[in-house]
Amino acid sequence: DIQMTQSPPSLSASVGDSVTITCRASRSISNYLNWFQQKPGKAPKLLIYAASSFQSGVPSRFSGSGSGTDFTLTISSLQPDDFATYYCQQSYSTPSFGQGTKLEIK
Amino acid sequence: QVQLQESGPGLVKPSGTLSLTCVVSGGSISTSHWWSWVRQPPGKGLEWIGEIYHTGSTNYNPPLKSRVTISVDKSKNQFSLNLSSVTAADTAVYYCARKLFGPSYYYDYWGQGTLVTVSS
């Protein structure tokens, strides 16, 4: 099975900042990488699929990049609504998720 | 707009069987999508359980495979999860989700989740 490792586990930032979350796969997954946002008590929300494609309705301040084993999610100009937990997920083989990155307000 | 809604008992006894149903509305379950179950223990990350196609084909997460059965009822536009021999480690919020095929495979619609507690 493929292990997904996210870093950092948590992150403090201010409104207007730009942040980057990293996700590493234990072996190559091509671009079979998705990013989700989850808020407390809510289901995950798809942000990015296929490493860099925007899900409909997602603000353009979210962007994804990478291929193979290393991927990043960047959020530019943080808004109050962006403070949440973010998960990467690979769909190359048996689906698996990263452990999450909690983005908190500084 | 597709909507998914989970339902089932919120409390299951240890060694018993957890049974949940996900009703799909706003679209047919008999489309070219796979229908999935994902769970999240309180305060922890997400774990994929398995999936089913409307033909009845299934895929399961290997660590859970011996205890999981996912079935589909096309006449009711719903699919179900059975997880047997449960322990406290199976306490989690259980989500159903739709998997879409594209340049990647991804989950675009989710239910709101239902908490299942395993306790005597």
What are the tens digits of pLDDT across the range A3-21?
999 999 999 999 999 999 9
- pLDDT score at B117: 98
Q: How far is CA A75 from CA A8, A44, A47, B101, B117, in A?
A: 14, 17, 11, 26, 35
Contact residues, chain A, for B102 at CB < 8 Å: 49-50, 53
Contact residues, chain B, for A25 at CB < 8 Å: none
CB neighbours of residue B43 within 10 Å: 5
User: A1–B46: do the CB atoms touch at under 8 Å?
Assistant: no
pLDDT in tens, B5-28: 999 999 999 999 999 999 999 999
- pLDDT score at B104: 83
pLDDT in tens, B48-98: 999 999 999 999 999 999 999 999 999 999 999 999 999 999 999 999 999
CB B8 within 8 A of CB B86: no
- Whether the predicted pLDDT of B103 surpasses 80: no
Q: How far is A78 from chain B (nearest CA, A)?
A: 23
User: B48–A34: do the CB atoms touch at under 8 Å?
Assistant: no
- Whether the predicted pLDDT of A100 surpasses 90: yes
